[in-house]
């Protein structure tokens, strides 16, 4: 059974499915979660605090997914391909995560504004973490890259960090410019997942070819 905090975050995310963030009301989020409005304010402090927590959770969901993919006992190239596929599929299904990965925040989404300078720290540890800010697109992909590189380090490749970065940049290109449906319309989220043979082939090439470039790290 989810905690009150998780129930509130789930309710806020569900509300975004039909309303822009500016139209989401705290009282409605509390009601949908089955808790009092005071409980909501105790957890998040304000609507902006709720927004920061919601965005922070999306970043955590993404990185937890990366860790789960990397824990599978498969060859390094398949593992890295799976991380790329998870990046594309998760971003396709989760608009807030997609905005986190691309830095493109529309008016329908809760733009993660930082907590006000000098504001009293929340009594809730999870909220203090959310109020500290969320990673930029480069930071978030960098965290995923470092996780992948650490997991694949035993493959013995000296350029594994660079290979992981290139693979994730490839995945991000699918997020920014997803495949289109046959009729020219934008494809549904599930079709954003690149086909396994295609992306695995590209990543195998990344592993085989020296990908040295003037910029070896994310900006």
Question: pLDDT by residue (tens digit) across 150-178?
Answer: 888 765 555 788 888 888 988 888 888 76
pLDDT digits (tens, 9 = 90+) for 18-42: 999 999 999 999 999 999 999 999 9
CB atoms within 10 A of CB 182: 6
Note whether 100 and 59 are within 8 A (CB).
yes
CA–CA gap between residue 196 and residue 193 (Å, rounded): 8
| Mean of pLDDT over the chain | 82
Question: Which pLDDT score, from 0 to 100, does residue 119 have?
Answer: 76
Domain ranges within the chain, ordered by starting residue: 61-121+135-208
Question: Which pLDDT score, from 0 to 100, does residue 196 have?
Answer: 57
Note whether 149 and 76 are within 8 A (CB).
no
Q: Which of 65-69, 157-161, 211-215 has the lowest mean pLDDT?
A: 211-215
pLDDT at 182 over 80: no
pLDDT at 185 over 60: no
Q: What share of the chain in percent tops pLDDT 70? A: 81
Question: Which pLDDT score, from 0 to 100, does residue 59 have?
Answer: 95
Question: Which pLDDT score, from 0 to 100, does residue 85 have?
Answer: 86
How confident is the model over 79-84, as a mean pLDDT?
87
* 3-state SS assignment for residue 180: strand
* 180, β-bridge pairs: 186
Question: Which pLDDT score, from 0 to 100, does residue 133 have?
Answer: 86
pLDDT at 207 over 80: no
Phi first, then psi, for residue 145 (nearest 5°) are -60, -45
Residues contacting 33, CB < 8 A, separation 6+: 4, 7, 8, 10, 11, 40
Question: Which pLDDT score, from 0 to 100, does residue 156 have?
Answer: 52
pLDDT digits (tens, 9 = 90+) for 90-127: 998 899 999 999 998 888 888 878 778 777 888 899 99
Note whether 108 and 96 are within 8 A (CB).
no
Q: What share of the chain in percent tops pLDDT 90? A: 44
Q: In the numeric block, which tokens belong to residue 130?
A: 């959310």
């Amino acid at each position: 059974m989810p905690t009150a905090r998780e129930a509130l975050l789930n309710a806020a995310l569900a509300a975004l499915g039909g309303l822009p963030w500016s139209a989401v009301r705290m009282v409605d989020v509390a009601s949908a979660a089955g808790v009092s409005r005071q409980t909501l304010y105790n957890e998040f402090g304000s609507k902006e605090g709720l927004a920061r927590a919601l965005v922070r959770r999306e970043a955590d969901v993404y990185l937890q997914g990366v860790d789960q993919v990397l824990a599978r006992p498969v060859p390094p190239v398949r593992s890295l391909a799976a991380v790329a596929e998870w990046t594309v599929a998760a971003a396709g299904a989760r608009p807030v995560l997609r905005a986190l990965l691309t830095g493109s925040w529309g008016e329908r989404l809760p733009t993660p504004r930082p907590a006000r300078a000098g504001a009293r720290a929340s009594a809730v540890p999870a909220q203090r973490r959310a109020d500290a800010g969320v990673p930029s697109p480069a930071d978030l992909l960098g965290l995923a890259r470092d996780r992948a590189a650490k997991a694949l380090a035993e493959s013995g490749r000296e350029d594994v960090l660079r290979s992981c970065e290139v693979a994730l940049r490839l995945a991000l290109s699918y997020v920014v410019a997803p495949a289109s449906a046959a009729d020219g319309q934008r494809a549904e989220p599930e079709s954003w997942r690149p086909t396994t043979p295609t992306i695995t082939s590209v990543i195998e090439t990344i592993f085989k070819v020296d990908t040295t470039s003037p910029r070896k790290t994310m900006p």
